[in-house]
Amino acid sequence: MILNASGCLDAIVAPDVARELDVFVTKTVTPLPRGGNEPVRIAETDFGMLNSIGLANSGVEKFVAETLPRLAELELPIWVSVGGFSADDYATVCATLDGCGEVAALELNVSCPNVAEPVESVAELVRAAREATSKKLYTKLSPASPDIAAVAKAAASAGSDGLSLVNTIRGLALDRGSLTPTLSTATGGLSGPALRPIALAAVYSCFRATGLPIVGMGGIESGRHALELIAVGASACALGTIFFSDPEAPGRIRSELAAEAEALGFENPSDAYAVAHGDEAPAPLRHVA
Amino acid sequence: MRKELLEVAGVERLGPYSLVRMKRGGLESGVPGQFFMLSPPGRLLPRPMSLCLATRHELGFLIDPIGPGTIALAELARSERISVLGPLGNGFRLDIDRPLLVGGGIGVAPLPYLSERLGRPPAVLGFRTEAHAEAATLVPNAETVVEPRLVTELLRPGADILACGPEPMLEAVRRLAPQAQLAWEAPMACGYGACYGCAVEIDGELRRLCVEGPVLEAAA
């Protein structure tokens, strides 16, 4: 199952790209409209890129009234990424979306590196969301926490149905000439190939800690990269930075994934699910793509 | 929007700039002012370049080698292949009576193709140095100035201005000619609305230049 990472594709502007996905994940929606951060918002780095968009979005009311009906025309399952600055914010957005039949699941973005963090813990944010909706909840975690498996367990205990791993990790780039920060916010979220081993480690440890279904993401550029995430415990994969250089990535990676899996003796890519854990995989495995 | 692996047909130096000519494959040339995303060898992200020249068999891009991506593009060799996506964005409106093309520095890039499509109207160009001004040879019927003279000295009242250049030049043109069509630039990772990186202020709001532009009416 191939998704997009939240904020890396606009399905309304590029519907043909979105239709190649199994699920479309929206850009993060907050209670109120946000213009986002001032330019400069992106910078290429060695082995990755930084972004500091700052959760630009039209706010949940306009999202439900204008964006969601247009996304529904794609006839794809839609996951809405939910953001905020407090547990109340998450509850508000989740409650508003709870009645929207077009929404298949919610992804709680509790880990944006480009905006102020809520004071509440991840578990408190998940609990607030859980109480506000009966929809499936995936919690998107930061790879920057010292013990991501502990955060994953807390999210699971608070009612998260799955995990999205990983969000970007904070980084900084300097202008070539002036040696001052390239981005207007100085730091931004690092994505791309640099995240691959970090994402693998996060999925590996969170899978062992929770056994929850995991959407693995972080620097996927090829079928091999997706297969490795599946092997450490991802039941689905999301593409992010690769969209920027290759809008045809979903179809290409899907066929590479099938070929890579077959070359290693797996009939389907999903047969490689959690093989990295050998016999020590937690049981029962609750979800296989 | 279409992506193809295109072969480099040739690279010519024009002062500090490089004109990279690609065999055009099945790509459309689009409207002047639209752009293409060119993937430099060895870099993660493609770079947005407006189309400079279009012939039946080739697409030409004028490159100013100022960073790792543009240097890699300027150093492409004949027969190398790179991925090219486009045409993207909104180009110039061509239904105008008295066109005057205005270019500054690397902003001359879209003007040769624009000039062809408009029947070689007059153009005024400004450059930092005599070396940079070598790029003026690409634009027919052009009057050229070099700093400290500024291209805005050459604007004519009543002309329908189509301009591309650095922000201070575009701001100056906007003040003098509120009806001008201006082609802007912004750092851009994708070129098709996915990355939200190229936000610029339009009508008081931050919007994506790749979706709304890169050519905007001056009054916006």
Domain assignment of residue B7, yes or no: yes
Q: Which of B194, B197, B198 sits opposite A9 (nearest CB)?
A: B194
Q: What is the pLDDT of residue A122?
A: 95
A181: Cα separation from own chain's centroid: 26
Distance from CA of B68 to the nearest CA of A (A): 10
Tell me: the pLDDT tens digits for B128-168? 999 999 999 999 999 999 999 999 999 988 999 999 999 99
Number of domains, chain B: 1
d(CA B111, CA B52): 7
* Residue A255 CB-density burial (10 A; 0-12 exposed, 13-18 middle, 19+ buried): exposed
User: Which residue of the set A8, A94, A100, A112 is catalytic?
Assistant: A112
Give the chain A residue nearest B66 (alpha carbons). A176
pLDDT less than 70: residues of chain A: 281-289
CA distance A44 to chain B (A): 7
Chain B interface includes A175 (CB < 8 A): no
Distance of CA B195 to the CA centre of its chain: 21
Question: Mind telling me how many Å the CA of B67 is from chain A's nearest CA?
Answer: 8
Q: What DSSP line would sit under A124-170, residue for residue?
A: HHHHHHHHH--SEEEEE--TTSTTHHHHHHHHHHTT--EEEE---EE
| pLDDT at residue A30, as a whole number | 97
Residue B142 included in any domain: no
In angstroms, the CA A154 to CA A127 distance is: 10
CATH at residue B67: 2.40.30.10
Q: Do A244 and B187 touch (CB under 8 A)?
A: no
Picking from A16, A36, A44, the nearest residue to B45 by CB comes out as A44
Which residue on chain B is closest to A10 by alpha carbon? B194
Q: Which of A9, A36, A40 has its CB closest to that of B206?
A: A36
Closest-approach residue (CA) in chain B for A182: B187
Any domain includes B29: yes
Please compute the mean of the pLDDT values over residues B88-95 and round it to a whole number. Answer: 97
The three-class DSSP label of residue B202 is strand
Does residue B181 form part of some domain? no
Query: CA-CA distances (angstroms) from residue A147 to A3, A5, A189, A218, B189?
Result: 26, 23, 19, 18, 32
Interface of A with B in 19-38 (CB under 8 A): 27, 35-36, 38
Nearest by CB to residue B192, choosing from A7, A14, A47, is A14
B218 domain residue, yes or no: no
Task: Please state the pTM of the whole predicted model.
Answer: 0.95
**Each residue's pLDDT tens digit, A33-60:** 999 999 999 999 999 999 999 999 999 9
Average pLDDT of the segment spanning B73-99? 97
Known active-site residue A112: yes
The whole-angstrom distance between A127's CA and the closest CA on chain B is 31
The closest alpha carbon to A8, from B196, B10, B81, B130, belongs to B196
Joined tokens for residue A29: 């929606």
pLDDT digits (tens, 9 = 90+) for A55-113: 999 999 999 999 999 999 999 999 999 999 999 999 999 999 999 999 999 999 998 88
Chain A residues within an 8 Å CB radius of B213: none
ipTM: 0.94
Q: Give domain status of residue B40, yes or no.
A: yes
Q: What is the pLDDT of residue A275?
A: 97
In a domain, B161, yes or no: no
pLDDT score for B204: 85
pLDDT at position B203: 80
On whether residue B101 sits in a domain, the answer given is no
**Is A244's CB within 8 Å of B69's CB?**
no
For residue B16, what are the domain limits? Answer: 2-88
Set out the domains of chain A in order of their start, with CATH numbers: 2-37+53-169+190-280 (3.20.20.70)
Mutation for B interface: A9, A40, A41, most B CBs within 10 A: A41
d(C-alpha B1, C-alpha A165), whole Å: 31
